[in-house]
Amino acid sequence: MFELQDAFARKFHYLRLSVTDVCNFKCQYCLPDGYRPDGRKSFLTLEEIRRLTRAFAAMGTNKVRITGGEPSLRKDFTAIIETVAATPGIRKVATTTNGYRMARQVADWRRAGLSAINVSVDSLDPRMFQQITGENRFHEVMAGIDAAFAAGFEQVKVNTVLMRGLNDGELGQFLAWIKDNPIQLRFIELMQTGEMDTLFERHHVRGAAIKEKLLDAGWQQKVRAHNDGPAEVFWHADYVGEIGLIIPYAQDFCASCNRLRVSSVGKLHLCLFGEYGVDLRDLLAGDGQQAALQLRLRQALADKKASHFLHQGNPGMTPHLASIGG
11 assigned ligand-binding residue = no
280 assigned ligand-binding residue = no
271 assigned ligand-binding residue = yes
191 assigned ligand-binding residue = yes
72 assigned ligand-binding residue = no
260 assigned ligand-binding residue = yes
54 assigned ligand-binding residue = no
Q: What is the 3-state secondary structure (H, E, C) of the chain?
A: CCCCECCCCCECCEEEEECCCCCCCCCCCCCCCCCCCCCCCCCCCHHHHHHHHHHHHHCCCCEEEEECCCHHHCCCHHHHHHHHHCCCCCCEEEEEECCCCHHHHHHHHHHHCCCEEEEECCCCCHHHHHHHHCCCCHHHHHHHHHHHHHCCCCCEEEEEEECCCCCHHHHHHHHHHHHCCCEEEEEEECCCCCCCHHHHHHHCCCHHHHHHHHHHCCCEECCCCCCCCCCEEEECCCCCCEEEEECCCCCCCCCCCCEEEECCCCEEECCCCCCCCEECHHHCCCHHHHHHHHHHHHHHHCCCCCCCCHHHCCCCCHHHHHHHCC
257 assigned ligand-binding residue = yes
261 assigned ligand-binding residue = yes
27 assigned ligand-binding residue = yes
110 assigned ligand-binding residue = no
16 assigned ligand-binding residue = yes
65 assigned ligand-binding residue = yes
Residues annotated within a binding site for GTP: 16, 65, 96, 157, 259-261
Residues in binding site: 16, 23, 27, 29-30, 65, 69, 96, 120, 157, 191, 254, 257, 259-261, 271
| Binding-site positions for [4Fe-4S] cluster | 23, 27, 30, 254, 257, 271
For the annotated binding site for S-adenosyl-L-methionine, the residues are 29, 69, 120, 191
